[in-house]
Amino acid sequence: MASFQGDQVTVAGAGALGLCIALALSRRGFAVTVLDPAGPGDNASGVAAGMLAPVFEAALDPLSGDHLDLLRAARDAWPDFAPIALDRTGALWRGPDAAGMEARLDALGAQWRRTPEGPFTDEDWRLDPGAAMTVLYAHAARAGVRFETRAAGDAEPGSLVVATGAGGAVLAPELDRLTPIKGHILRVAGGPASGPVLRGEGVYLCPDPAAAVLGATMEAGRDDLRVEADQVAGLLRLGESLWPGISALRARAETGVRAGTPDGLPLVGPSARPGVFLAVGARRNGWLLAPLVARSIAAYLAGEDPGPHAARLDPRRFDDEEESA
Ligand SMILES: Cc1cc2nc3c(=O)[nH]c(=O)nc-3n(C[C@H](O)[C@H](O)[C@H](O)COP(=O)(O)OP(=O)(O)OC[C@H]3O[C@@H](n4cnc5c(N)ncnc54)[C@H](O)[C@@H]3O)c2cc1C
């Protein structure tokens, strides 16, 4: 039996990252308690679109362009991680300049094909965040994880894993490096019910029989949850390019706040504060990255190799910049 059997770990935060980490740790024999003052899903993870989209994220997000390998590895960690339905229908470019997008996809080495509607990839998947959280909670509870509805303090028993998204500032010094990025997202009744995710410049539309998901704004430096009419109107305007007539449909707006680092990748690994481990800053790809981050954190706590991507995610990677600033 591993020597860490029964070792106590407190996980601060019950978003996608915290829940996946709790599950991964409990499977390795740690005694895990998850703390969160908010209700289930009352966080960025709960409002997200749930795209697991290495290809179009690498193609469209300048900070993700160099990380297609890591994003693919993160997607590929999902199928064995938990019995969560993964929609593998794929994603279709419906923005301007299809030829330019085809060249970008080729340059990335993405798998795609030309269709009459635009370049299409089946490398990008999707999950339903609400359903995924339900499964993650149930499996974690069954594996013995305890949940408490309160904020973590700086004197929790055992090791502390900080998975507090854009919150939790007092728990570790590195959290100062995070920038909040507010996002508006719309649930639209009567939009596409099935088919690939439609991607455009600064906008996407995820088909769903209950309500299609139109997202999402990236408002750096903002950490409030107020719904703003001009942001909603802007999203609907962009949405017209993907699904003409969408702005006349009934839409419910939601907001969430992601946490971002200067290079767009999360901070995953030991904090400068002894006994504390970080799993924060997943920005616009927290669902995509969650199982990969969880396995890496479990390996750190077990004293094992945290995997081939650990250096790129190491919380200390910005230390030199700070010293020379
Ligand atoms: C509009 C929008 C759309 C998105 N779409 C996608 C997408 O399609 N695909 C994708 O991969 N990602 C997407 N994301 C990003 C993704 O949602 C985030 O990266 C991810 O949810 C981050 O998960 P998390 O667990 O780090 O943080 P969160 O989900 O924010 O959870 C953090 C939790 O920590 C808790 N907390 C805070 N302080 C404390 C404390 N002191 N003690 C204990 N608990 C604390 C909070 O209450 C919260 O519940 C989207 C985000 C937004 C906003």
Predicted TM-score of the model (pTM): 0.97
281 lines ligand 1 (CB under 6 A): no
Measured in Å, residue 49 CA sits from the centre of ligand 1 at: 12
The predicted-structure confidence for 118-154, as pLDDT tens digits, reads as follows 999 999 999 999 999 999 999 999 999 999 999 999 8
Altogether, the residues listed in the chain come to a count of 325
One-character DSSP codes across 213-243: EEE---EET-------HHHHHHHHHHHTTTS
Measured in Å, residue 102 CA sits from the centre of ligand 1 at: 32
180 lines ligand 1 (CB under 6 A): no
The predicted-structure confidence for 31-60, as pLDDT tens digits, reads as follows 999 999 999 999 999 999 999 999 999 999
The predicted-structure confidence for 175-188, as pLDDT tens digits, reads as follows 999 999 999 999 99
Pocket perturbation via mutation, ligand 1, pick of 204, 205, 287, 293 by most ligand atoms within 8 A of CB? 287
Distances (CA, A) of 287 to 4, 101, 159, 240, 323: 28, 24, 24, 26, 32
The hierarchical CATH code for the domain 8-89+125-178+261-320 is 3.50.50.60
58 lines ligand 1 (CB under 6 A): no
Domain spans of the chain, in order of start: 8-89+125-178+261-320
Q: What is the pLDDT of residue 1?
A: 36
Three-class SS string for 58-94? HHHCHHHCCCHHHHHHHHHCCCCCCCCCCECCCEEEC
